[in-house]
Chain A
């Protein structure tokens, strides 16, 4: 399998604090890769660094995506190259409708790729199918992005955005925290429907709730800012039974 994302010897700081230390990780095309680890081990930082949050400073190391140097790209370029993050804490955008955000985003990507813009009719169709499948109501689409939604609804909407934008590489950051079983099923369904030979997922979690609905191909365990072990799905069971102290 060709490699989609390759991280080598990554070191990251916020302010003066070193958060990621000599982290290496490789994700091939088509893989669902779970990253597990206790709170504060740097999982969310890793996701933010991949998508280019300017609050984090990479001091050394590299991230390549489809063979391109991701660290040289701005956050929007990375997004348009196909990197998507479902946020653990989605941000409120007062007055901005979900449909407007997504239409603008889809057409920004199309422009970036030199493709024609999606017209209103195509867009409505594209949206209708996905909204219905994920239980997103018209009323939810009319409301401003993330304003006044419950945590569960926000995460459903993050999943919906992922389905709308059809990125090649999706990072789901702690989607299972505070999510009920129904919502977990929705996320699981989205991932399994979207799963393709060329599309990969990173699923970040600190327990195994979501992994009951999405079966990972590979699992990496993070501790103290780095990946301490990578293996198969059996690692999930090991953690469940013995805790993180069983590893590293």
Chain B
């Protein structure tokens, strides 16, 4: 028994693999936040007046808001004057790769995301975001031939201002919540996607976020607009160097899914989780939401293994009739990580359907919470939701919590909720070991089996990555 326990704890002890730092010169605005900083950011980006006004309005409103602490977890109040809100590598936003700082290219290479034209990932277009700015977007010329726009949001503000103006803040208004409001005031960069009517995007689109600069916050903003009958699959990956202090990541993702369109949004989040004593790590406080129109569908898949604190609820507003929302999630926590994640499914249209599959894995002394809302509006005739939340505990010092909220205002709507909590049993571990796997390998196999329902939703290359990540994250957890 003890042997099994030891092996389980060992399994979770492998250090963070993406914790290296890149030495580049950054152009940084002074620390702290006031109107001048916001004007500076807007000016640096050569933004139109309406956008500066949007930022300033958000900032004014943010000053009236309170930092929320309702999550199942704890963090010290953040000193917002001790953060750099704008930090870009000196060589960036350039037209050709030759002009990009070679150190940055090396960083992405190390992370397995080559931006070099000869080596770009086959079939995946990448927008690489480094600190506050987009470094490079691959394949965007080819995509443009089909009318697909894929670029940084800063570029979109310059090139397609009418689209940005129409949709920015339309799904997540700046008043939505404290961190969304902060983002609206100071967002630096992010990805922009536009899929025209009837076009099925021929490749996976992907954003890769990297926080590098010290004491910098990352506030990226992603806007995805998918017109009638169009389709796209979008991937998002994140890493950061290992640092002793906590860093704030407060992003917004807004998605507009028009009639009969289909969007699949997958995330593999591997921000630095802090060390074993809980020092350092990213605060990942993110608002992600999609508006889903008639007969359209939005599917969120997330694998969350990193961050000191994860606080996010990718949501679907099922506005149109027959709209479909899906949420598939694996959240894995170890050591002193805290995760409070789930989804909101807001059913407004008739015959709307939503599916929630959440798999939480907790190890070490971590805390892992599923929190979700299923709301059946008065017009949600015959709407249906199925939720299934499973928690797996490794060791006896961690916690798993499930907080589902269901509100039903229409008598014809059906809401189903199912939840389980289990432990990896000594019998399971022994059975697999008897087949020749070490205890670490056995745990990884069992955990991957536990998450399979979600993992198989990921695009193949991402699924392999995510499986490896869970293996690494588990090392030292057998206990």
Please list the residues of chain A having a beta carbon within 8 angstroms of any beta carbon in chain B: 51-55, 74-76, 79-80, 84-85, 87, 90-97, 100-102, 104-105, 108-109, 112, 144, 161, 165
Residue contact B426 to A108, C-beta cutoff 8 Å: no
Our count of residue pairs bridging A and B at CB distance below 8 angstroms stands at 87
Looking at the assembled complex, report how far the CB atom of A120 sits from the nearest CB atom of chain B, in whole angstroms.
14
CB of A79 within 8 A of CB of B436, answer yes
Tell me if A112 and B434 are in contact (CB < 8 A): no
The verdict on A75 contacting B430 (CB below 8 Å), with A54-B1, A94-B450 known, is: yes
Q: Kindly list chain A residues whose C-beta atoms are within 8 Å of the C-beta of B435.
A: 79, 101-102, 104-105, 108, 161, 165
- Contact of B441 with A104 in the complex, beta carbons under 8 Å: yes
User: Is B431 close to A, CB under 8 A?
Assistant: yes
Q: A76-B438, A91-B427 are in contact. List 13 more A-B contacts (CB 8 A).
A: A74-B3, A76-B441, A84-B434, A85-B434, A92-B428, A95-B448, A101-B432, A101-B435, A104-B441, A108-B438, A108-B441, A144-B449, A165-B435
With A96-B445, A96-B449 known as contacts, the answer to whether A87 contacts B431 (CB < 8 A) is yes
Q: Contact at B450–A108, with CB atoms within 8 Å?
A: no
Asked whether, in the complex, the Cβ of A91 is within 8 Å of the Cβ of B439, the reply is no
Kindly name the residue among B4, B435, B441 whose own CB sees the greatest number of chain A CB atoms within 10 A. Answer: B435
Contact sample, A vs B, 14 pairs, CB 8 Å cutoff: A54-B1, A54-B2, A54-B426, A76-B439, A76-B442, A79-B435, A91-B431, A92-B428, A94-B450, A96-B452, A105-B436, A105-B437, A108-B437, A112-B436
As a 0/1 sequence over residues 444 to 456 of chain B, the CB contacts with chain A under 8 angstroms (1 = contact) are 0110111111000
- What is the CA–CA distance of A96 and B443 in the complex, to the nearest angstrom? 11
Which residues in A have their C-beta under 8 angstroms from that of B1?
A: 54-55
- The listed residue with most B CB atoms (<10 A of its CB), out of A54, A74, A90, A112, is A54
**List of 7 A-B pairs having minimum Cβ-Cβ separation, nearest first:** A95-B449, A96-B449, A79-B436, A95-B452, A91-B431, A105-B435, A75-B433
- Interfacial chain A residues near B2, Cβ < 8 Å: 54
Contacts of A165 in B (CB 8 A): 435-436
Separation of A51 and B436 alpha carbons in the complex (Å): 11
In the complex formed, the residue of B with least CB distance to A100 is: B445
Which residues on the B side are within 8 Å of A108 (C-beta)? 435-438, 441
Partner of A95, one of B3, B438, B451: B451
Pick the contact of A104 from B425, B437, B439 — CB < 8 Å?
Answer: B437
